[in-house]
Amino acid sequence: MGAKKGLKTFTELDAYKQLKILSKNPLDLTREGVLTPERIQQMSTSALNFQYIYAAERVTEEVLDALEALARETSAVIKMRGCQAGDVVNKIEGFESEERQVLHTAMRDFFDHPQVSTPAIEASTLAKAEADKLDDFLKKNDKDNTFTHLIQVGIGGSDLGPRALYLALQAYKRKDRCVHFISNVDPDDAASVLKDLDLAKTVVVVVSKSGTTLETLTNETLVRSYFIKEGLDPNKHFIAVTGKGSPMDDPSRYLASFYIWDYIGGRYSVTSMVGAVMLAFGLGFNNYYEILRGAHAMDQNALKISIKDNLPLLSALLGIWNRNFLGHATLAVIPYSQALVRFTAHLQQCDMESNGKHIDKLGKTVNFETGPIVWGEPGTNGQHSFYQMIHQGTTIVPLEFIGFKDSQYGNDLLFQGTTCQQKLLSSLFAQSIALAIGQKSDNPNKQFLGNRPNRILLAEKLTPFTMGALLSFYENKVAFQGFIWNINSFDQEGVQLGKLLANKIIAIFASQNSRASVEDFPSGAALIHVLDKLK
């Protein structure tokens, strides 16, 4: 039994024990008569105009029943409901931790509200006020035609998700607007963005919840210096997105300020003001709202009880089956859409920063595997690179494919009897089947062992609404896995040690620049001395 109130740990659950038994003899997808049209029909489900096909996963109805029992036994949907309502779920019992609500879902939940006030409604009311303030700012900008370019300065969750969505929705961008991003403290990142911009027509959005993020503040200072060199007042070109009362919440330095709150984690912040200012500027306010509506709709889907109705929960459980019971350490997310070129990079942070944990919510070291390594690139390029390893390598990599029936722009043609989009989808479907069933051959070089589990998430078209729903799908999937494992998916202590040591090394550099003394950090100093050998 677990240490608190007789709660069972993950490996003590009845459903875990049942799944452990079932995993000793998983379904053989390579066996003739297994991956049939009937199975594909049976193991497909739909919601919000998405089709989710999991016939190429190594699951049977018995396994799915046990996975659903696992969700019930861990109260996964109840925990999701509590999270969305404003329960304090970002915590570790008995140890110092952030002790926060997790209310990124409230940032897109201000369309229809009951009259009864709850923490979630209070949060969404604040979000709506910021959205209205943003709408007013953009309308004034349109009227005066003040800015045509925007630079987003941020790092981590302040860059990855917003950038991924902006790139994904270029088909919907405003023709008179262009957005740029600076995230890396590498000065070449800023230089490459700023070299050809008309700074007089450029607004800079600086994003830091704490107002103290070193890389972001460094880049802000660097970008401000470009404006000063051009004879422009940076204070009339810079916008702050930060926590209320933070060091960046300073009207004397910023043209405008938009707020985010402690209960919004960086990697879950795309639909808050972190992404909103840039997305509404670059795509138009209506398209930004459509992203919110799509995300909210999928948040509601995440509250469904049945795993065949609840897309994020089903994905989470299939991932747990592959990770904890079949022993697969990684997950490749492969979008067959060039528009999603940076989406997997966002999912890496969303998943690995959330569930890359080795303790549970009681502070005890877990005795099972937690979050997988997430990676991937758009198809079909991947088929000509890493698919070799996926098909014939010694490590089995589960895959989650993302595809769309129609292209965004609709600019297509027939070549040798089919359109480009049909060829793209043909590759996606073929890879799914080939990975599952493999190929027998007397020539070992042409033998494919198969049983590479995979699933397909399909939608009609990548629109702002679909993009919002897709974002929420993965956010909620990650949260469900954390709820089931009983780990805290909403803090990120793992990034702190590197920051601490980096600051010590920065102090050594600073001491060299100023010829001052500094507290000794021998290993850091030794690495700095290597630079002296580079002439």
pLDDT of residue 124: 94
pLDDT in tens, 224-234: 999 999 999 99
Q: 350, 267 in Cβ contact below 8 A?
A: yes
Residue 380 preceded by cis peptide, ω within 30: yes
> Does 267 share its domain with 169?
yes
Q: Each residue of 425-477: pLDDT tens digit? A: 999 999 999 999 999 999 999 999 999 999 999 999 999 999 999 999 999 99
Q: Based on the domain organization, do 188 and 250 belong to the same domain?
A: yes
Instruction: Give the sign of the dihedral formed by CA 105, CA 109, CA 113, CA 119.
Output: positive
- Helix, strand, coil percent content, the chain, rounded in steps of 5: 50, 15, 35
Tell me the Ramachandran region of residue 298: left when phi exceeds 0, alpha when psi lies from -120 to 50, beta otherwise: alpha
Longest dimension (CA), the chain: 75
Mean pLDDT of 411-429: 95
39: which residues sit within 8 A by CB, 6+ positions away?
Answer: 55
Phi/psi of residue 499, each to 5°? -60, -45
Given the residues 17, 140, 499, 529, select the one marked as catalytic. Answer: 499
Paired strand residues for 272 = none
Does 65 share its domain with 199?
A: no
Q: Please report whether residue 258 resides in a domain.
A: yes
Q: What is the pLDDT of residue 508?
A: 83
Cβ–Cβ under 8 Å, residues 262 and 281: no
What is the extent of the structural domain holding 517?
Answer: 494-533
Q: In what order do the strands lie in the sheet with 202-208?
A: 178-182, 149-153, 202-208, 238-243, 256-260
pLDDT of residue 1: 36
In a domain, 192, yes or no: yes
CATH number where 162 lies: 3.40.50.10490
Give the total residue count for the chain: 535
Model confidence over 116-140: pLDDT tens digits?
678 999 999 999 999 999 999 999 9
Work out the average pLDDT over 233-258.
97
Same domain, 358 and 273: no
Q: What is the pTM of this model?
A: 0.94
Kindly tell me if the per-residue pLDDT of 2 is higher than 50.
Answer: no
Shared-domain flag, residues 350 and 226: no
Query: In the predicted model, what is the mean pLDDT of residues 12-35?
Result: 98
Same domain? For 466 and 502 the reply is no
Domain count, the chain: 3
Instruction: Return the pLDDT at 3.
Output: 46
Same-domain status, 358 and 251: no
Residue 300 lies in a domain: no
The catalytically annotated residue of 5, 175, 195, 384 is 384
Report the alpha-carbon distance of residue 258 to residue 139 in Å, rounded: 16
353 as an active site residue: the answer is: yes
Q: Which position among 353, 357, 391, 475 bears the catalytic label?
A: 353
**Is 482 in the same domain as 498?**
no
